[in-house]
Amino acid sequence: MSTQVFYFVATLSILFSLLVIFAKNPIHSVLYLILTFFTFTVHYVLLNAQFLAVVNFIVYMGAIMVLFLFVLMLLNLNKETEPVKSPLIKIVGVIAGCCLIVTLVGSFKAATITSPLILKNPGLGLVENLGKELFGPFLLPFELSSLLLLAAMVGAVLLSKRDEVEA
Amino acid sequence: MDIAFIIEKFILVAVIFGISLVIAMYSTYAERKVAAYLQDRLGPDRAGPFGILQPLADGVKMFMKEEIIPTTSNKWLFIIGPGLALLCACIGTAVIPWGSPMEIGGKIVPLQVTDINVGVLYIFGVVSLGVYGVMIGGWASNNKYSLLSAIRAASQNISYEIAMGLSIIALLLMTNTLSLKEIVNQQHGWHWNVLYQPLGFIIFMVCSFAETNRAPFDLPECETELIGGYHTEYSSMKLGFYLFAEYINMFVSSAVMATLYFGGYNYPGMDYMATLLGPTWAPLFGTAILFAKIFFFIFFFMWVRWTIPRFRYDQLMNLGWKGLIPLAIANIIITGVVIAIIEKF
């Protein structure tokens, strides 16, 4: 039952991520990306990582993608405003795509069928256990990453302030 | 997962869904009556006694109106917008505990659809998703005013979500759980969280006004500046969906406020009532108490709407970022320090 659900959701994930790339309209692209993130949330639920699922839901679907949509709506991208691509860029693109295909084929050839991952502790993704892990063995990396986020936040505020002073 | 379990949950979902729709329907009537009372008018009184059939008449009108989809709009997204708004409004009710477990014919039935251990965050996620209906609808209308409104809605929603999340963190420090059922059970009798978290409650309430786009935070539908806001191009039942979604949101956030801060279905003297009424009727009485609290909050939403004028956009942003967020952070620190001191001694 769970495996079938996984394959169904995984197919949807791949389908929506392909649509993100192939959609002509950037707004549609973002909307497909939101659907892709939603399927990721379902994957997390299937892995019994409820906290990660709901955080993915709030942060990626609820906050970051709203900002993406926000910016794209303001930009109002049309066919007319799109810059004309020179043939050189197209050739570079084709070469880069071929390189990607070679890499993918190589990695698929090396891949073998692995046994499904079984968690040693199925309750690891629950809030309580996750918190104990984060504030126990992983305290230092956790605090360092929060420091990094704080630095990024201060930097963003500083960058936007400087413009104001010059103007 | 046996059949009885599925049927039980199905009935519960259907009942909750029906109740929220009826409450949303009669909120439109209540809103007009409250407005009339505050402005010393009569309000709707033609359809039925005291005008109580007015929502039905409005509903019929909404369905009968001509449906117009602008030719320059993005057709599919134009249709998806209101649907998404209504969907996001309705799914929030799934984790709210409506009453203590009830005994029906010797079987204990929990009056909650699902008790996930991240209930508070689920509510939060649904709230943050709610803005997509407005954004997609506003953009797909291909109208400058609708687009402006959609952008306002998005920035307002994101700004107030932060303060809302921070105000909940202070509450979670006290409850030590994210499950709404446990949070309610901890508030047994009169140990309501609002007594310990008055500041947190006020911040949470102001943010829920902003998240539901209710006055004084209804800038996305500011008719003096934006015609009708994000639903300018909408007509017929699609417009009805947007209006309905707002009232359901109001109902759900009232329920969340009552659950998190005002004890949910708990009330002073509930143990005495439990022995008096027995295991079947006492939970139902608790549910009635919860609904009384919800109705009070809905009335409060309306009371504020007809009392306080709308904010200016810069005032809105100032209040959110410079007022509520620092207050919420201070609240977290104070709560943390007090809990640490209590645990020490």
Contact B81, B239 (CB under 8 A): no
Give percent of chain B with pLDDT exceeding 70: 99
Answer yes or no: do B129 and A62 touch at CB < 8 A. yes
Residue-wise pLDDT for B255-290, tens only, equals: 888 888 888 787 787 777 777 777 777 778 888 888
Chain B contact set for A127 (CB, 8 A): 117-118, 178
Please give the helix or strand (H or E) that residue B83 lies within, else none: helix B75-91
How high is the pLDDT of residue A117? 65
Chain A contact set for B124 (CB, 8 A): 58
Averaged pLDDT, B209-238: 79
Phi/psi region, residue B213 (left: phi>0; alpha: psi -120 to 50; beta: rest), is: left
User: Which residue of A27, A58, A126 is in closest CB contact with B125?
Assistant: A58
How high is the pLDDT of residue A89? 85
* Chain A contact probe: residue of B128, B146, B155 with most A CBs at under 10 A: B128
Residue B230 in contact with partner chain A when CB distance is under 8 A: no
How high is the pLDDT of residue A100? 92
pLDDT-based confidence at residue B137 (cuts at 50, 70, 90) = confident
Answer yes or no: do A50 and B116 touch at CB < 8 A. yes
Residue B118 in contact with partner chain A when CB distance is under 8 A: yes
Answer yes or no: do A66 and B158 touch at CB < 8 A. yes
Q: What angle do CA B307, B160, A31 make, to 5 degrees?
A: 120
Answer yes or no: do B118 and A54 touch at CB < 8 A. yes
Nearest Cα residue to A30 out of A74, A58, A69: A69
Answer yes or no: do A57 and B125 touch at CB < 8 A. yes
Answer yes or no: do B118 and A70 touch at CB < 8 A. no
Residue B104 in contact with partner chain A when CB distance is under 8 A: no
Instruction: Compare A158 and B5 and report the one with higher pLDDT.
Output: A158
Averaged pLDDT, B54-73: 82
Residue in chain B nearest A56 by alpha carbon: B125
Answer yes or no: do A50 and B117 touch at CB < 8 A. yes
Residue in chain A nearest B147 by alpha carbon: A73
How high is the pLDDT of residue B110? 75
Chain A contact set for B157 (CB, 8 A): 66
**Tokens representing A117?**
């991952």
Averaged pLDDT, B200-210: 89
Contact A53, A45 (CB under 8 A): yes
**Tokens representing B64?**
């009968």
Averaged pLDDT, B6-10: 83
Averaged pLDDT, B287-296: 88
Instruction: Report the amino acid identity of residue B187.
Output: Q
Residue in chain B nearest A38 by alpha carbon: B129
Chain B contact set for A53 (CB, 8 A): 118
How high is the pLDDT of residue A144? 92
Would you give the end-to-end CA distance of chain A in angstroms? 61
A11: closest CA of chain B, how far (Å) = 23
User: Which residue of B124, B129, B139 is in closest CB contact with A73?
Assistant: B139
Answer yes or no: do B150 and A27 touch at CB < 8 A. no
The three state secondary structure string of chain A is CHHHHHHHHHHHHHHHHHHHHHCCCHHHHHHHHHHHHHHHHHHHHHCCCHHHHHHHHHHHHHHHHHHHHHHHHHHCCCCCCCCCCCHHHHHHHHHHHHHHHHHHHHHHHHCCCCCCCCCCCCCCCCHHHHHHHHHCCCHHHHHHHHHHHHHHHHHHHHHHHHHHHHC
Compute the distance between CA of residue B299 and CA of residue B33 in angstroms, rounded to an integer: 11
Averaged pLDDT, B333-339: 89
Instruction: Report the amino acid identity of residue B150.
Output: A
Average pLDDT across each block of 10 residues of chain A; the chain has 167 residues. List them in order: 83 90 83 89 83 85 82 69 74 91 86 68 73 85 92 88 60
Whether the per-residue pLDDT at B206 is higher than 80: the answer is: yes
* Chain A contact probe: residue of B91, B95, B117 with most A CBs at under 10 A: B117
Instruction: Describe the crossing of helices A26-46 and B131-140 by its angle, rounded to 10 degrees.
Output: 160
